[in-house]
């Protein structure tokens, strides 16, 4: 089998490794985003897929070099967290089309943020779909699907790893069946479709009038980016951004404090919500390092009793 792989982020890595190490498929080409500056020093860093591709001795190109290639001699394309829309002429290139590994049970959670949406919505189950790409987003026929459970302790990093490993497993298992004609792709029921949105930095701002469970789910979903944050007033009454790095959801809903109020109980730091509170264990004031709750209280004791914004 001659295969073209499209991928960029860490989600795609288990699939590419599985293809390379567990099959005899011929990976003709890997297409991944070009190296980009990262961090405060803007160091140029390859994508996780580009790093693996180079170490495995595979042929790597950037997306802008793709349009000049003829893919008609390829059997199939595989897409996993590529980060770009596949052009129409590329979709029609490989003989058996291009297959996307989508981290949801399509037609549920179509779009750019299905893992975050599963966590934000507090879902107990999600999964992976192998689908044929067409000209619409996450719209093509389904080759196969498999579900997995979502734990209340799963955050984005954990759930991404779980669905990435599942995606790699079902691709290696089911792609040969599709190529052989043993699996017939099934059209999605568009009437059941739900959609996710592109996550923006401002989505991480906490509304303390929300239930504690919703705020906890936001932390789980946005832990990689953009994080969750709020604002407090410093001693000069100037608003300071406060990142909430690590939290726990409290079991009780009986909290005699206003939503957004900072309080201490049993040497622990809490913030009241609409129906309870969250326990904060790590946080980071603007232009400061990450602090434990006790370190924060040592330096910002005047915060206790303040209503966060």
149 and 76 part of one domain: yes
Q: Are residues 113 and 166 in the same domain?
A: yes
* 232 and 150 inside one domain: no
CATH number of the domain where residue 290 is located: 3.10.25.10
Does a structural domain hold residue 240?
Answer: yes
181 and 216: one domain?
no
Confidence at residue 165, expressed as pLDDT on a 0 to 100 scale: 98
DSSP 244-279: EEEEEE-S-----S-TTBEEEETTEEEEEETTEEEE
**Do residues 126 and 211 share a domain?**
no
Question: Do residues 270 and 263 lie in contact, with contact meaning Cβ atoms separated by under 8 Å?
Answer: yes
User: Which ranges of the chain have pLDDT less than 50?
Assistant: none
pLDDT of residue 251: 62
pLDDT value of position 254: 59
Predicted confidence at residue 40, as pLDDT, reads: 67
| Half-sphere exposure in the Cβ direction for 231 (13 Å, CA) | 8
Are 241 and 170 in a shared domain? Answer: no
Distances, alpha carbon 237 to alpha carbons 145, 213, 264, 283, in Å: 54, 30, 22, 20
Structural domain count, the chain: 2
Q: Does 217 reside within a domain?
A: yes
Task: Identify the domain containing residue 218 by its residue range.
Answer: 201-303
What SS3 class is residue 238? coil
- Tell which of 168, 192, 216 closes a domain: 192
| 21 shares its domain with 153 | yes
12 CB contacts (<8 Å, ≥6 apart)? 5, 48, 49, 80, 81, 82, 101, 164
Tokens of 7: 């991928």
pLDDT reported for residue 163? 98
59 and 85: one domain? yes
Query: Of 192, 217, 246, which one is at a domain's C-terminal end?
Result: 192
Any domain includes 266: yes
Q: Is 309 a member of any domain?
A: no
Q: Do residues 175 and 155 touch, judged by C-beta distance below 8 A? A: no
Q: Scan for tokens 């793709």, then name that residue.
A: 66
164 and 37 assigned to the same domain:
yes
- Structural domain ending residue among the three candidates 141, 165, 192: 192
Q: Are residues 160 and 21 in the same domain?
A: yes
Q: Do 182 and 233 fall within a single domain?
A: no
Predicted pLDDT of residue 198? 96
Cis before 74 (ω within 30): no
Tokens of residue 206, six digits:
């906490």
What pLDDT, in 10s, does the model give residues 151-163?
A: 999 999 999 999 9
60 and 175 part of one domain:
yes
| pLDDT of amino acid 39 | 65
Q: Which residues contact 73 (CB under 8 A, 6 or more apart)?
A: 2
CATH of the domain at 92: 3.40.50.170
Task: Tell whether 73 is covered by a domain.
Answer: yes
pTM: 0.94
Establish if 71 belongs to a structural domain: yes
- Alpha-carbon distance of 178 to 182, in angstroms, equals 6
120 in a structural domain: yes
Paired sense of beta strands 26-31 and 60-61, if any? parallel
Residue 252 in domain: yes
Structure tokens at 20: 């390379």
């Amino acid at each position: 089998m001659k295969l073209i792989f499209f991928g960029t982020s860490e989600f795609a890595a288990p699939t590419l490794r599985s293809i390379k190490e567990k099959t005899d498929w011929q990976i003709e080409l890997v297409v991944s985003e070009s190296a980009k500056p990262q961090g405060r020093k803007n160091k140029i860093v390859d994508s996780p897929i580009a790093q693996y591709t180079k170490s495995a001795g595979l042929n790597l190109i950037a997306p802008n070099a793709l349009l000049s290639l003829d893919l008609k001699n390829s059997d199939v394309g595989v897409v996993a967290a590529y980060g770009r829309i596949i052009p129409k002429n590329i979709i029609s290139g490989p003989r058996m089309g291009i297959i996307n590994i989508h981290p949801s049970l399509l037609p549920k959670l179509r779009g750019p943020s299905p893992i975050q949406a599963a966590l934000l919505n507090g879902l107990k189950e999600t999964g992976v779909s192998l689908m044929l790409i067409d000209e619409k987003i996450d719209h093509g026929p389904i080759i196969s699907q498999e579900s997995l459970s979502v734990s209340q302790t799963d955050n984005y990093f954990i759930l991404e790893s779980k669905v990435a490993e599942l995606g790699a497993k079902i691709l290696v298992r089911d792609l040969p069946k599709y190529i052989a004609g043993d699996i017939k792709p099934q059209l999605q029921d568009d009437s059941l479709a739900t959609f996710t949105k592109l996550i923006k930095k401002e989505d991480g701002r906490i509304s303390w009038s929300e239930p504690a469970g919703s705020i906890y789910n936001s932390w789980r979903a946005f832990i990689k980016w953009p994080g969750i944050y709020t604002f407090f007033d410093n001693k000069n009454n100037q608003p300071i951004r406060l990142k909430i790095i690590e939290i726990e959801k409290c079991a009780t809903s009986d909290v005699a404090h206003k939503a957004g109020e900072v309080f201490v109980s049993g040497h622990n730091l809490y913030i009241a919500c609409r129906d309870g509170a969250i326990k904060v264990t790590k946080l980071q004031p603007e232009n400061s390092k990450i602090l434990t709750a006790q370190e924060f209280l040592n330096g910002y004791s005047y915060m206790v009793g303040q209503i966060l914004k």
